[in-house]
Chains A and B, each alone.
Chain A
Amino acid sequence: MKSTFVRAVVLTLTVAGLAAPSMTSAKTVAPAKAVTSSFSGYPTPLCMPGTGNYCGMQ
């Protein structure tokens, strides 16, 4: 019973993760050129330094 539950959780996690990039809810939001990303849990800027664009840093 317990192992079935753990398996179900892991399967849900995997399917959600694999299906996420093609989520339809994200597609309905106005698309725009990506200026930020995330690699380390913290937002990663894609704006080149020296261009005067600070990716919204306050």
Chain B
Amino acid sequence: MSNVLWLRDVSIAECAMCFCVAAIFIHKRLWGKFSLLFALIALRAVSGSILIPLLFFRKDLGISLPIAYNTYFATAWISGIAQTLLVIGIIYHVYREAMRPLQGLQRIGNIIFRWVAMVSLAVSLAFAAGPHTSAVTFASFATAIAPQVQQGVFVLTLCLLLFVCLAIRPLGLTFHSRIFGVAVGLGVTATTFLVQAAWLATVGAQSLYSPIYLVGTVGTLVSVCIWGVYFVLPEPERKMILLPTTSPFFTWNRISEALGDEPGYVAIAGFKPQMLAAAELKVLSSTTHKADRLPASAHPTQDVLPRTAPQQTALQQRIAVSQ
């Protein structure tokens, strides 16, 4: 069996599997909760049903080569760019869902995610617009930038998979959770595409029927099968998260929760009683009277360390500011 036939059969199997998994999503009404993953699978199914006939059955369909190539070129590029954007969205969704119990870390992770995305885009644009680019057309610009963006997205995918795998217990997930299944499927796709990318600039990838494309096609087939299995099986409930007080997840989550809060203000110097409003003065005087009426046993420190007049004034100032 030649490479072309292998590529054709695996592509058809992958396209058929995409339709099956999309049907599972619709049947189980999961397309709302995992809308981006559903969109990715549906897009793969639709683009596969256009690209496979053009690539392998053009002569049988009687389509001329220029028309078939132009259609193939446009469909492959539009689908490829849309899939890359959807994968970015899915990574973001998986991260948010995985970190849902740790709101502080989720919030700070969102900021870092957006920052890294913008820096990655800027670096890719800078490389693509560099002096090595010979012809400055939109098409050449797009073909220069798109592979770099895609490889960056796949490295990000693998980092997410590693994070979810290593932090699965503190996040209350198990290896049967759908979030983990989605991350594993994306990880398989990312690994196979990165392996494939190593061979693109060689004589082995000079044709659309090159055997190296079997790697990526098998990878997508495996990933779609993984998603199918995870979404067919019932998902276990999220476990109760019991973290030790010394856990870095617990500590960093508390720190992250405090970050970005509206700060309080303390009067350090230059405070005058005239700065207080009438209501504040009333509260302060009533507090002072109450403190004076308390029995001596209620002020144990007062007996030991009698307050001087300036200390009392400072205390009253603090009370007033806090009020």
Give the interface of A toward B (CB within 8 A).
Answer: 2-3, 6-7, 10-11, 13-14, 16-18, 20-23, 26, 29-49, 54-58
Contacts and interface: CB of A to CB of B under 8 A. Distances in A.
B305 interface: no
14 contacts: A13-B191, A14-B191, A18-B155, A23-B195, A26-B202, A32-B202, A35-B206, A39-B84, A41-B216, A41-B217, A42-B48, A56-B208, A56-B209, A58-B209
The secondary structure that dominates the B interface is helix
A49 B165 CA distance: 44
Interface of B: 11, 14, 44, 47-48, 51-52, 55, 58-59, 65-66, 68-70, 72-73, 76-77, 79-81, 83-84, 139-140, 143, 146-147, 150-151, 154-155, 158-159, 161-162, 165-166, 168, 175, 184, 187-191, 193-210, 213, 216-217, 219-220
A9 B70 CA distance: 41
Contacts, number: 169
B76 A33 contact: no
Nearest to A28: B202
Nearest to B205: A36
B295 to A, nearest CB: 62
Contacts of B76: 39-40, 42-45
